[in-house]
Structure 1
Amino acid sequence: MSTCLRSCFLLAWVLLLCVIFCNFASISAQNRRPKNVQVAVRANWEGTPLLLEAGELLSKEWKDLYWEFIEVWLNTEKDQADSYTAKDCLKRIIKHGHSVLREPLASLFGFSLTLRSASPRLVLYRQLAEESLSSFPLSDDIILNNAGGGISKNEINDEAKSDHLLVGINPKTPGGKCCWVDTGDALFFDVADLLFWLRSPTRLAGDSFQQPELFDFDHVHVTSHTGCPVAILYGALGTDCFREFHVILVDAAKEGRIKYVVRPVLPAGCEAKAGLCGAIGARDSLSLGGYGVELALKNMEYKAMDDSAVKKGVTLEDPRTEDLSQEVRGFIFSKILVCS
């Protein structure tokens, strides 16, 4: 009986040692795993929609491609499926971009879009949108466009005053509007107010100094005429208000009444109104491509040496190293110098 108990006791000890050894081996294996360091450089501005970035990429190649892309997207917007994933939206944006490009540029469009290189341009439009909402002087007592129903810049200055310390923040519009038209002396957030302004010859013939400033990167419609009043549409492709304003402004530009300009901006709170693919990329933080971090580890080894001989005036260097006539690994440097 005692022999059986001793055998069971020894067996239990062996099993316990095996369990401890296995746990120790697994912990050691985990500690030996390579510790990878992943570093991402993120932009200090909010994400920008991929749909708007696609338009900017096409515009850099040729300005007319921007307007062709808008028309293609608006004409096929009704054919969208009930639901789209982010991957499906990316494929759809690339597909429409390919439809207005030729090879070999078409094959590079998708790769360029994933680099997010057009995002800084959209941040610039955000800042211009902030200026559009809050640039009119507070001290000016003139209330513009009362009869036309438009909203004077004085009326929204307090709501839309921008914080210049924050870079790339989506602008906030009064009443949660997602689109507006800036004519230089008034802002129109409703289509009815814009139509009233277009049908008023006296309002169209405004002073030239009140017109908004245009830049080389602005998207000016191909049918616009020089010298006409400027009408800048701030909005995002994919929203219903953009479609409504765009149709009216294109017709007015073709009739030679205005100079139609688009500055793509998706205001804060309008992500849900931008359609199935209009807000893809706007909710995520933007990682800057083309930047990397190298972690260089250097092994520093030190040798201990006795420097007491130096204090006594004895040099530690080998005197033969200063004698060029001595052979060093088969080379006699004194002869080499003479021959040279």
Structure 2
Amino acid sequence: MDISNSILTWNVSSPALFCSAVWFIASDSFCLHLLWIFNSEFMAEESNEKFWQFVETVTELAVYKQTESDYSYYNLILKKAGQFLDNIHINLLKFAFSIRAYSPTIQMSQQVAAEEPPPDGCAAFVVVHTKRTCKTSELKKLLSKAASRPRPYLFERDHKFPTSSENLPVVILYAEIGTRAFAEFHRVLSKKSKNGKILYVLRHYIKKPSSRKMYLSGYGVELAIKDTEYKALDDIQIKATTDATVENETGADEVQGFLLGN
């Protein structure tokens, strides 16, 4: 079977099935909301510019209403992704969801956030050179003395807001895109970054992750070892047997192609 054909024709007709394929969680609405993060990681592989363009469209969306159906919300997610991707990439995106391609990346960000650790009761928070807060009103105070504190370590896969210089105070936002808390912080941080005041870095953070285990796609490897038995033979006996065979063949008479022994 040609895997490229299977990828291009991948289709998921049911949002519930789509969610179960992406993440094992208790709430379907939470699952659909989580797809924004998966979408953003797919965009990031295309380019950093597409990632932030997609993030901007998410902040412009109205907050998800519980009265809306899962199917309509699912279509909204695909529609927003379709602004930046063609049909082939949309199908590749669905395939990436089904094999949970970005779950390890999200889990890594979640683990990094847990080591900060997050302030109590915060759906989103920022870290400014070792100082944390979940209030946008405290940013100015934390930035005023940021240069006197150690600069944070940034990972290769961190999402950095486009800026002309990175020699600036670093503000790391831990948030779940598509939420009110994220939108509030993003508006403030993106504005400061555009004005050349900070280096804005986004890391995914989910306040209440599922406690259920998640299954990742993979493969097994079997090592089969052939059992070979080696036997030791006496070279003298082998030579004697060979000589006797040669003598017998030499003394044989040939009759119409057949060797007849004495």
| Short-chain TM bin | 0.5 to 0.7
- 2:35 corresponding residue in structure 1: 50
Deviation (angstroms), 1:221: 0.3
Deviation (angstroms), 1:224: 5.6
1:196 pairs with 2:136: no
Query: What residue ranges of structure 1 are gaps of 5+ in the alignment?
Result: 1-41, 134-172, 272-281, 293-334, 336-340
- 1:247 corresponding residue in structure 2: 187
User: How far apart in 2 are the matches of 1:283 and 1:101?
Assistant: 33
Write out aligned runs for 1:140-155 (5 A). none
Query: In structure 1, the residue corresponding to 2:120 is in which secondary structure?
Result: helix
Query: In structure 1, the residue corresponding to 2:129 is in which secondary structure?
Result: coil
Structure 2 vs 1, CA of residues 86 and 77 (structure 1 numbering), >3 Å: closer, same or farther?
A: same
Structure 2 vs 1, CA of residues 257 and 265 (structure 1 numbering), >3 Å: closer, same or farther?
A: same
1:96 pairs with 2:80: yes
- Conserved in 2, the CA contact under 8 Å of 1:232 and 1:262? yes
- 1:262 corresponding residue in structure 2: 202
1:176 is matched by which residue type in structure 2? Answer: G
Q: 2:116 aligns with which of 132, 138, 146?
A: 132
Structure 2 vs 1, CA of residues 193 and 237 (structure 1 numbering), >3 Å: closer, same or farther?
A: same
Q: 2:48 aligns with which of 54, 63, 79?
A: 63
Write out aligned runs for 1:1-340 (5 A). 49-77=34-62, 83-133=67-117, 173-198=118-143, 200=144, 203-207=145-149, 210-223=150-163, 225-268=165-208, 285-289=213-217
Structure 2 vs 1, CA of residues 44 and 51 (structure 1 numbering), >3 Å: closer, same or farther?
A: closer
Structure 2 vs 1, CA of residues 283 and 72 (structure 1 numbering), >3 Å: closer, same or farther?
A: farther
- Conserved in 1, the CA contact under 8 Å of 2:128 and 2:142? no
- Conserved in 1, the CA contact under 8 Å of 2:128 and 2:146? no
Structure 2 vs 1, CA of residues 224 and 180 (structure 1 numbering), >3 Å: closer, same or farther?
A: farther
Moved more, 43-52 or 64-73: 43-52
User: How far apart in 2 are the matches of 1:61 and 1:77?
Assistant: 26
User: How far apart in 1 are the matches of 2:104 and 2:127?
Assistant: 22
Structure 2 vs 1, CA of residues 242 and 106 (structure 1 numbering), >3 Å: closer, same or farther?
A: same
User: What's the Cα RMSD here?
Assistant: 3.3
Structure 2 vs 1, CA of residues 73 and 263 (structure 1 numbering), >3 Å: closer, same or farther?
A: same
Deviation (angstroms), 1:58: 1.3
Query: What residue ranges of structure 2 are gaps of 5+ in the alignment?
Result: 1-21, 221-256, 258-262
- Conserved in 2, the CA contact under 8 Å of 1:224 and 1:253? no
TM-score, length of structure 2 as denominator length: 0.65
Deviation (angstroms), 1:96: 1.1
Larger gyration radius, structure 1 or structure 2: 1
User: How far apart in 2 are the matches of 1:230 and 1:109?
Assistant: 31
- 1:136 corresponding residue in structure 2: none
Query: In structure 2, the residue corresponding to 1:241 is in which secondary structure?
Result: helix
User: How far apart in 2 are the matches of 1:89 and 1:44?
Assistant: 19
Structure 2 vs 1, CA of residues 231 and 174 (structure 1 numbering), >3 Å: closer, same or farther?
A: closer
Query: In structure 1, the residue corresponding to 2:156 is in which secondary structure?
Result: coil
- 2:223 corresponding residue in structure 1: none
- Conserved in 1, the CA contact under 8 Å of 2:24 and 2:212? no
User: How far apart in 1 are the matches of 2:24 and 2:72?
Assistant: 27
The count of aligned residue pairs is 197
1:132 is matched by which residue type in structure 2? Answer: E
Query: What is the percent sequence identity of the aligned residues?
Result: 27
Deviation (angstroms), 1:104: 3.2
Deviation (angstroms), 1:43: 9.1
- Conserved in 1, the CA contact under 8 Å of 2:175 and 2:203? yes
User: How far apart in 1 are the matches of 2:120 and 2:212?
Assistant: 25
Query: In structure 2, the residue corresponding to 1:176 is in which secondary structure?
Result: coil
Moved more, 105-114 or 178-187: 105-114
Moved more, 95-104 or 239-248: 95-104
TM-score, length of structure 1 as denominator length: 0.51
